[in-house]
Amino acid sequence: MKIAFTTTDGSMIDQHFGQCESFQIWEVGPDQASFIESVKTEAHGSDEEDRIAARAKILSDCAIVYTMQIGGPAAAKLVALKIHPMKTNTEVSLPETVAKFQEVLRGNPPPWLRKAMNKGQAVSYEED
């Protein structure tokens, strides 16, 4: 699944969602994780609502956004697009966060995460 991170240098999740200059997009699965691209944010519109909408749009194919801080309106906009915001509250290691996330994927992910894992994929039902 695609996950976006707010980071200045690729090693720490250290930016506020509404103030970061770019998002790092990673493809993360239970056994592999790789950096895909860095997506720049640009000045979109004159008010906060336009900026939030533009940021959400460039992340539309991501299932999760990890950020140090995010405001309520921005989080709501992401959730409306089926993007789950994850707030760290402090600077945390991006590689360690990816590793911990992979551990959760290999175990028994919570329902919201199972739903996020299927974002953009056709739902298939398998027999046990």
pLDDT at 44: 59
* Closest alpha carbon to 30 in 96, 104, 115, 88: 104
pLDDT at 124: 44
Considering the entire predicted model, what is its pTM? 0.86
Domains annotated on the chain, with CATH: 2-117 (3.30.420.130)
Sign of CA dihedral 112, 87, 51, 49: positive
Each residue of 80-126: pLDDT tens digit? 999 999 999 999 999 999 999 999 999 988 888 888 887 766 444 44
| Residue with the two structure tokens 């959400």 | 56
Q: How confident is the model at residue 63 (pLDDT cuts 50, 70, 90)?
A: very high
pLDDT at 123: 44
Task: Give the integer Cα–Cα distance in Å for 83 and 103.
Answer: 20
- Asked if pLDDT for residue 128 goes beyond 60, the answer is no
Distances (CA, A) of 13 to 48, 69, 87, 90, 110: 22, 10, 10, 8, 23
